[in-house]
């Protein structure tokens, strides 16, 4: 982890030398000398981090190597602080430049101040140089090696997993049978089965049960089990495989150690030439694994099989024609059964007074068998008293690092972190910044990583693409869980396992990476770099006043001290990230403009109404998120933010629709802008828009009559992939037929207004996957003309069907996954033919006031996972009385009905709705209707 900090310091120093030509020559030489010292120290860090991890595993966080690594990290932080403060002072001096006599006097004053600053930085750098020299000398004293390989935690907890008794194997019985079927039947060609899942999920246990199963033993002529791990080399794997296969006994260990790779390969191929063999490679970590063993195991058309277990889906993806089985966490009933067996003995009888606590503890375990067994075993030694169990639940994080019963669980989870390259460690540790079980928007996370400087520079790819690859890597390594995907199957929300979150919190505290500020944790180290304020903001800033904080985030804070915002911007000038989403903030102080290093500012879903003019001084700002704020107009100073990449600005009006924000003239200077929405666009704004050639996502409300200017403007935006065009109402004419050359790569399109027919150019959009239409005046039903679009995945329509019957015919919408149909006021019935929308996963319908019967043919949508009826509570309740209801909906996992009451939207499941008696329902629906009438009056 220190390596990331050192790399950041090296990059910062390099940037300073290039950019700051005014630096004193002697200072420049010292800066370059420090950079060289850090590069030498960096070469020791991989070895040092490995040894420090071993010290930590042995319970010695204060060992000599750990102390050395901490000193390196703190010096790197100190370098970053010194340089950031120097750059901040330089920015202040240039800001005060002016003209005339006053300007001249200011320049002279600034010049004298600059000399002081430069001599000050010279003194600081001399001190840093001396400290680094001492640290480098100590690296030799501690016998640290200059190496370049990943961290290795010297631990293998899998031996015990191989011998777990059958009574403790719960919830994987059907998986065992399924995988054995793949192994003992099918093709005569050699084939591969990969079992993928996070640490502690039971991959080794599963593979061990399969390996020892009599059906498998009878089928194969010979078997081998090789535990690979992180440290195993190609030669190690070949030797282990030869030793494992039955009958290969003629070579001693000494003889095999002398054999060349070619001889080992020949020996294996000769031995397996005429045999139906099975090999299990357990715990594979390296991406080059398949390349190392592919040619060692002969293809002999004897139905031979290779099986591997890994945490990293990316390793399995490199193997051609592999059968991948993603092992899932235990469902709650199976988890409770396993836990009860471990905690209460073979009979597994949980006392009623402990059941709720048991289930709360199980939620922490998140379906991981290793964690369930470990925690259950720990509790089996405690008295069955609620107080004791509650204490364990609240203290599970610290118990993970100190209780011997949880050692294996702790080490297996920690292993995933320790195997990461340094930049991914920082990305993973950032999940500790968020509350436990918090679903994080992936786009938000990527922007935060970029703002923090975690994303490596790439000449070929944008920062967003590289950050996306980092997230995909963490997901593939089973360290990050996908909570929700978008309509294209890409991760939309993610999180980490609760126990991994506990480990991350412990790591972030120890490394000084970040600190959680809440009622229980309120005393951070002065070296802390980031704070996450959760539940209470009282006295927080007072407790960190001596810190060089770079990031501040608020979660679940319902009240703010009056002085909080002013103190924050006055006392913490080096801040890079301010994340205030969903917080009770009502204003931004004028002093926010002094945060020269600010890269990321989110006021999403706050009550901020006005941005101060000083916002124009944030020259390093890359993300400004004003979604669902009360801001109606941006200040003209916004045009100064030349590094801005994301400008997210819309309000949600009383109707629930987006309302646009006014932008000033001159915003066309924001040449790096990638996302802009939603803004009002007259011809002057459109003229500015055409300058934004990097724009990828655009949402605008067009002033009536400016469509031709818009069409000309859009032609300039060649990188556009998402476009939303709105008029003030559905009745205004939207004339965009003249857009003869829309952006070639357009993937998402939304239109609102009045038009007779859809523009012809829509049907030429090769990559379009998402369409939303809120249009009046259409003479043709858009579904009839859109149904054949080959790549359409999502379709949203508002009141575009004027027939009484809505009919989806066979072969319509072959790839569609999401269909949302709002405000179809005249539709009385909906029919879905067999073969229509075969891939549909989500269907959202309503309000349809004239609907007379439940959609016919909905049972044909075999992939439907989510069905929702909006504002149709009474209709759906009585439709559910039809005996056909259960039959046609039983294949749909989630069926919901929404309704409004007192201005809020409520969700209820169809299952719950059907349990309400008619009398009680009528009483409730009267209450709902009265509430809605009073809210409209």
* Structure confidence by residue, pLDDT tens digits, 869-882: 999 898 898 988 88
Give whichever of 369-373, 472-476, 537-541 has the largest mean pLDDT: 472-476
CA 34/CA 89 separation, integer angstroms: 22
CA 300/CA 303 separation, integer angstroms: 8
Q: Place 654 in a pLDDT band, splitting at 50, 70 and 90.
A: low
Reported as a single tens digit per residue, the pLDDT across 801-842 is: 888 999 999 999 999 999 999 999 889 999 999 999 999 999
pLDDT at 153 over 50: no
Q: Distances from the Cα of 329 to the Cαs of 196, 335, 370, in angstroms?
A: 12, 9, 11
pLDDT at 480 over 90: yes
Structure confidence at residue 621 (pLDDT): 96
Summary mean pLDDT of the chain: 85
Q: Are 311 and 273 in contact (CB under 8 A)?
A: no
Q: 3-state class of 322 per DSSP? A: strand
CA 47/CA 145 separation, integer angstroms: 6
Percent of the chain with pLDDT over 90: 40
Tokens found for residue 422: 């340094």
For β-strands 866-870 and 805-808, DSSP reports them as unpaired
What DSSP letter does each residue of 670-711 carry, written as one string? Answer: -TT--EEEEEEE-HHHHHHHTT-TT--EEEEEEPTT-HHHHH
Reported as a single tens digit per residue, the pLDDT across 589-601 is: 999 999 999 999 9
Structure confidence at residue 151 (pLDDT): 44
Mean pLDDT of 702-713: 78
Q: Place 537 in a pLDDT band, splitting at 50, 70 and 90.
A: confident
Q: 3-state class of 365 per DSSP? A: helix
Single pTM value for the model: 0.87
Reported as a single tens digit per residue, the pLDDT across 711-757 is: 888 888 989 999 999 888 888 888 888 787 788 899 999 999 998 88
CA 246/CA 224 separation, integer angstroms: 8
Structure confidence at residue 280 (pLDDT): 96
pLDDT at 546 over 80: no
Place of tokens 């009528």: 922
Tokens found for residue 334: 């199976």
Reported as a single tens digit per residue, the pLDDT across 103-150 is: 544 554 554 455 455 556 777 777 787 888 888 787 777 777 765 444
Mean pLDDT of 764-781: 91
Structure confidence at residue 248 (pLDDT): 47
Among 179, 173, 24, 139, smallest CA distance to 86 is for 24
Structure confidence at residue 149 (pLDDT): 40
Structure confidence at residue 148 (pLDDT): 46
Which helix (H) or strand (E) element contains residue 899?
Answer: strand 894-901
Quick one: residue 278, left, alpha or beta (phi over 0 = left, psi -120 to 50 = alpha)?
Answer: beta
CA 305/CA 310 separation, integer angstroms: 17
pLDDT at 247 over 60: no
pLDDT at 99 over 60: no
Q: Of 300-309, 311-320, 530-539, 549-558, where does mean pLDDT reach its minimum?
A: 530-539
137 CB neighbour count, 10 Å cutoff? 9
For β-strands 866-870 and 842-845, DSSP reports them as parallel
- Residues with Cβ within 8 Å of 725's Cβ and at least 6 positions away in sequence, in order, are 700, 702, 710, 734, 736, 750, 751, 752, 753
Q: Place 277 in a pLDDT band, splitting at 50, 70 and 90.
A: very high
Structure confidence at residue 781 (pLDDT): 84
């Amino acid at each position: 982890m220190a390596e990331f900090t050192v790399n950041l310091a090296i990059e910062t120093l390099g940037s300073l030398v290039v950019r700051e030509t005014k630096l004193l020559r002697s200072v420049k030489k010292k800066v370059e000398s420090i950079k060289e010292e850090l590069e030498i120290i960096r070469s020791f860090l991989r070895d040092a981090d490995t040894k420090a991890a071993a010290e930590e595993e042995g319970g010695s966080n204060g060992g000599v190597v750990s102390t050395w690594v901490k000193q390196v990290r703190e010096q790197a932080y100190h370098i970053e602080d010194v340089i950031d403060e120097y750059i901040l002072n330089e920015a202040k001096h240039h800001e005060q430049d002016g003209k005339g006599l006053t300007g001249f006097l200011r320049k002279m004053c600034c010049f004298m101040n600059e000399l002081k600053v430069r001599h000050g930085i010279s003194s600081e750098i001399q001190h840093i140089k001396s400290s680094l020299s001492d640290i480098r000398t100590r690296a030799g004293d501690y016998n640290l090696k200059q190496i370049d390989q990943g961290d290795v935690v010297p631990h293998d907890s899998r031996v015990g997993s191989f011998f777990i008794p059958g009574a403790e194997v719960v919830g994987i019985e059907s998986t065992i049978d399924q995988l054995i079927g793949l192994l003992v039947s099918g093709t005569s060609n050699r084939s591969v089965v990969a079992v993928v899942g996070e640490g502690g999920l039971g991959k080794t246990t599963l593979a061990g049960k399969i390996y020892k199963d009599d059906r498998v033993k009878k089928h194969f002529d010979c078997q081998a089990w090789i535990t690979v791990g992180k440290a195993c080399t190609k030669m190690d794997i070949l030797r282990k495989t030869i030793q494992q296969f039955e009958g290969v006994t003629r070579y001693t260990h000494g003889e095999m150690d002398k054999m060349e790779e070619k001889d080992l390969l020949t020996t294996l191929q000769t031995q397996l030439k005429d045999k139906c063999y099975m090999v299990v490679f357990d715990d594979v970590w390296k991406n080059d694994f398949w390349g190392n063993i592919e040619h060692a195991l002969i293809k002999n058309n004897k139905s031979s099989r290779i099986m591997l277990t890994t945490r990293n889906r990316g390793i399995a993806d490199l193997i051609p024609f592999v059968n991948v089985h993603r092992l899932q966490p235990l469902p709650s009933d199976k988890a409770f059964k396993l836990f009860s067996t471990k905690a209460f003995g073979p009979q597994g009888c949980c006392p009623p007074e402990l059941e709720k606590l048991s289930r709360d503890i199980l939620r922490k375990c998140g379906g991981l068998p290793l964690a369930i067994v470990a925690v259950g075993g720990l509790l089996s030694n405690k008295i069955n008293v609620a107080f004791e169990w509650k204490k364990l639940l609240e203290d599970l994080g610290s118990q993970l690092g100190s209780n011997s019963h949880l050692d294996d669980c702790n080490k297996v989870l920690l292993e995933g972190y320790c195997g990461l390259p340094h930049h991914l460690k920082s990305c993973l540790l950032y999940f500790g910044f968020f509350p436990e079980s918090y679903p994080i928007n992936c786009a938000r996370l990527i922007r935060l990583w970029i703002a923090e400087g975690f994303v490596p520079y790439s000449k070929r790819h944008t920062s967003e693409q590289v950050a996306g690859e980092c997230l995909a890597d963490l997901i593939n390594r089973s360290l990050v869980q996908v909570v929700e995907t978008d309509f294209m199957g890409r991760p939309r929300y993610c999180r980490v396992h609760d126990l991994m979150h506990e480990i991350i919190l412990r790591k972030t505290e120890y490394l000084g990476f970040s600190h959680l500020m809440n009622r229980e944790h309120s005393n951070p180290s002065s070296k802390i770099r980031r704070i996450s304020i959760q539940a209470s903001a009282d006295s927080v800033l007072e407790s960190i006043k001596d810190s060089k904080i770079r990031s501040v985030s608020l979660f679940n804070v319902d009240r703010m001290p009056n002085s909080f915002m002013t103190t924050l911007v006055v006392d913490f000038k080096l801040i890079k990230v301010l994340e205030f989403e969903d917080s009770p903030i009502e204003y931004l102080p004028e002093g926010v403009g002094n945060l020269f290093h600010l890269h990321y500012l989110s006021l999403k879903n706050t009550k901020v109404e006005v941005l101060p003019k000083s916002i124009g001084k944030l020259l390093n700002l890359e993300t400004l998120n004003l979604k669902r704020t009360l801001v109606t107009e941006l200040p003209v100073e916004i045009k100064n933010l030349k590094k801005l990449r994301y400008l997210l600005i819309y309000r949600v009006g009383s109707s629930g629709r987006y309302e646009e924000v006014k932008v000033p003239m001159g915003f066309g200077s924001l040449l790096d802008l990638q996302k802009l929405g939603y803004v009002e666009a007259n011809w002057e704004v459109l003229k500015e828009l055409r300058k934004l050639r990097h724009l990828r996502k655009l949402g605008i409300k067009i002033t009536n009559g400016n469509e031709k200017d818009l069409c000309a403007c859009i032609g300039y935006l060649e990188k556009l992939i998402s476009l939303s065009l709105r008029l003030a109402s559905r009745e205004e004419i939207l004339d965009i037929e003249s857009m003869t050359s829309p952006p070639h790569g357009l993937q998402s399109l939304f239109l609102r207004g009045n038009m007779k027919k859809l523009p012809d150019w829509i049907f030429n959009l090769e990559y379009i996957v998402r369409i939303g239409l809120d249009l009046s005046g259409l003479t043709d039903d858009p579904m009839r003309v859109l149904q054949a679009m080959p790549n359409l995945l999502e379709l949203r329509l508002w009141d575009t069907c004027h027939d009484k019957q809505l009919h989806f015919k066979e072969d319509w919408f072959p790839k569609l996954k999401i269909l949302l149909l709002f405000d179809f006021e005249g539709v009385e019935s909906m029919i879905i033919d067999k073969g229509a929308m075969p891939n549909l996963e989500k269907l959202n319908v309503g309000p349809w006031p004239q609907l007379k019967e439940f959609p016919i043919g909905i049972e044909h949508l075999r992939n439907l996972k989510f069905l929702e009826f909006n504002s149709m509570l009474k209709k759906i309740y009585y439709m559910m009385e039809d005996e056909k209801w259960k039959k046609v909906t039983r294949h749909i996992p989630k069926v919901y009905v929404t309704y409004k009451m007192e201005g809020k939207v409520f969700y209820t499941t169809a299952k719950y709705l059907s349990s309400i008696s008619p009398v009680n329902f009528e009483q409730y629906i009267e209450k709902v209707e009265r509430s809605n009438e009073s809210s409209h009056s």
